[in-house]
A and B are shown apart, each in its own frame.
Chain A
Amino acid sequence: GNSVTQMEGPVTLSEEAFLTINCTYTATGYPSLFWYVQYPGEGLQLLLKATKADDKGSNKGFEATYRKETTSFHLEKGSVQVSDSAVYFCALVSVTGRRALTFGSGTRLQVQP
């Protein structure tokens, strides 16, 4: 079955530091890949997505590249801000079969001023 593995948190960084949150997946076929962000007390917001190999999703300075050969979709940002503090979820959906999202366990990011 499908699964997503994320690096455990919390990740604590100083403002303007470089961010990487690792995500690897197992899936049948060629899934679409997503990063969602959850701010305290809120629902999930789609941050970025990629639907095929070598696609790069980007939004608000965050980037992730769909790497089929390593089954990875690592999230990166060159310079984090305090406002980026949140929980980040990597997820996938199979384009055939079940349409439900499969999520990783989430990585909490804390950015200190």
Chain B
Amino acid sequence: NAGVMQNPRHLVRRRGQEARLRCSPMKGHSHVYWYRQLPEEGLKFMVYLQKENIIDESGMPKERFSAEFPKEGPSILRIQQVVRGDSAAYFCASSPTSKDYNEQFFGPGTRLTVL
């Protein structure tokens, strides 16, 4: 059973360009979470999605950032008009459907560098 997949692993963008980060959850998992890790800091929650629905986007900046998890295909985190402050590691996690606590399994992350 493959783990959570993220691609690309490294992404370099110039200021003003768009960044698209992809996350394929573990097989059978229908919940996806995106977190951002700034250098030397802990992870901060951005958005929580289920298939075709955004459940909680309280941690995501209102401008330039969007996320989706379509019925088919990976979850996408999109950052428009990137700025240097967007440089960070972006981690995706997935969890199975559960009524109780959700153990989250993390992908290897995408390291975004904005020049």
Contacts and interface: CB of A to CB of B under 8 A. Distances in A.
Interface of A: 32, 36, 42-46, 49, 51, 89, 93, 95, 98-106
Nearest to A4: B42
Interface of B: 4, 6, 31, 33, 35, 41-45, 48, 56, 58-59, 91, 93, 95, 100-109
B59 A100 contact: yes
Of listed A43, A89, A93, residue having the most chain B CB within 10 A: A43
Contacts of B101: 32, 51, 93, 95
Contacts of A95: 100-101
Nearest to A31: B101
Given A44-B106, A49-B103, A98 B42 contact: no
B109 A43 contact: yes
B67 to A, nearest CB: 13
Contact of B41 (A51, A100, A105): A105
A55 B15 CA distance: 48
Nearest to B34: A100
Given A32-B101, A51-B101, A93-B101, A100 B45 contact: yes
A33 to B, nearest CB: 10
Given A44-B43, A93-B101, A100 B106 contact: no
Contacts of A51: 101
B42 A104 contact: yes
Contacts of B105: 46
A103 B44 contact: yes
Contacts of A44: 43, 91, 106
